[in-house]
Amino acid sequence: MTTPPDCRLYLITPPVLDDLAAFGHTLAEALDAGDVAALQIRLKGASDEVIAAAVDVLTPIAHSRDVAVILNDRPDLAAALGCDGVHVGQDDPPCREARQIMGKAAMIGVTCHDSRHLAMEAAEAGADYVAFGAFFPTTTKDAPTQAEPDLLTIWQESMEIPCVAIGGITADTAEGLAAAGADFLAVSAGVWAHPEGPAAAVRALNTAIARGLALRARSEAQAGL
């Protein structure tokens, strides 16, 4: 039997940060509550100045806890602000262009919706991870596609590039996606809008991920892998 890879939490900021200092405290509490691999700063429609201020405040909080900081959409701004990486969608600068702007060491992620074809193109272009979704209804963004968990399983079995599951993920739905093969679970409202608070959400999500990984291990053992 092979040991399944870890599945880790990947947080995405709320779409608007009205009180950056207050959110910084909330973020610190959330990151201290359990394992988190990365924080994506996603402020659609915000000015460069607002995004830069968010990066300036949130990056030290994340880095002090070994959490990578990824900026959404803007490789130019991500490079200028010293982010660890950038996440680009199908309407943003392509992966190769993002790599040229940010350099070899940066993490480049690509939205691939429900398409293995797009994901394979991203992998060939040098992406460090591909993101599939939305897996569940979400109010955080307009999701043009719906992905099924077996997409994660097929990707995990055939490709080495890590895959991120995104879209409406909560502590109630995380277990199944971890079991299906997600390397990372990208969560926004499922953390920040949790009724018991973001720290409780991070704890619950990590517990659900652990259950999912145990299920994946048992499934692989039964399959003789």
Walk along the chain (225 residues) and give the pLDDT tens digit of each residue.
Answer: 234 458 999 999 999 999 999 999 999 999 999 999 999 999 999 999 999 999 999 999 999 999 999 999 999 999 999 999 999 999 999 999 999 999 999 999 999 999 999 999 999 999 999 999 999 988 776 777 899 999 999 999 999 999 999 999 999 999 999 999 999 999 999 999 999 999 999 999 999 999 999 999 998 888 875
Angle between helices 48-63 and 20-32 (to 10 degrees): 30
Q: Counting Cβ atoms within 10 Å, is residue 188 exposed (0-12), middle (13-18) or buried (19+)?
A: buried
Tokens linked to 20: 């950056």
Whole-number pLDDT of residue 5: 57
User: What three-state secondary structure class fits 97?
Assistant: helix
CA–CA dist 33, 93 (Å, integer): 35
What pTM was computed for the model?
0.95
Decide: residue 134, CB within 10 A, 0-12 exposed, 13-18 middle, 19+ buried. Answer: buried
Q: Using only C-alpha atoms, what is the Rg of the chain?
A: 17
- Cα within 13 Å of Cα(116), Cβ side: 12
CA 32 to chain centroid: 18
Question: The domain at 8-222 falls in which architecture?
Answer: Alpha-Beta Barrel (3.20)
148 conformational bin, left if phi > 0, alpha if psi -120 to 50, beta if neither: beta
Domain boundaries, the chain: 8-222
